[in-house]
Amino acid sequence: MKWCWKFTRTRKSGIGVLGLLWLIAPFVAAAAEDVEVEPPPRSVTLDQLLTLPSALPVESGQHGGLTRGEWSGRFAEAEAGVVVARAELDESLDELSEVVGKASNWKIAAPGMQATPSDNSPANYGLKKAVQRKREGVARAERELRDLIVEANLAGVPEDWHKKSGSSE
């Protein structure tokens, strides 16, 4: 008898849930018809995510606590640093190629040993280290410019502030 009672109770509650679903179904279907399905958004590139739209209204003449002239000055300084670092690197590379070009073709070695080029002479070594330091300087200057661009984008600085005030590029 006990088993029968449980079966009856389960059957009664099951009918109640089905009855409730039967009553709610027309309202759910009507609500589903009213919802407009929007097309999926177009794909967004990484560059679009990292740049703020320039159509944002400008409330004041400052972004990130700096004015247009201050931002332009910072960009001009960073770009000049990159240009100077590259020029110094080119100068050191020219100097190194000049010294290497003057090196003698004579190679001295002990009998039975193979002669190896003497690329590590004191003059060449100093120039190679200078070239290495200048390359690191160029990388540092480019990294500083890239960091400034990211900082400006996060501060909401418009793209035209990235250029010098007087330039018309």
The pLDDT of residue 13 is 53
Claim: this prediction has a pTM higher than 0.75 = no
**Rounded CA gap, 4 and 167, in Å?**
92
For the chain, the residue count is 169
Residues 6+ positions from 34 with CB-CB distance below 8 Å:
none
| Token code pair at residue 29 | 């279907």
The pLDDT of residue 159 is 84
Model confidence over 85-128: pLDDT tens digits? 999 999 998 888 887 766 555 666 777 777 665 555 666 788 88
Query: 125: helix, coil or strand?
Result: helix
Strand runs labelled E in 3-119 = 62-63, 66-67
The pLDDT of residue 150 is 92
pLDDT greater at residue 119 or residue 53: 53
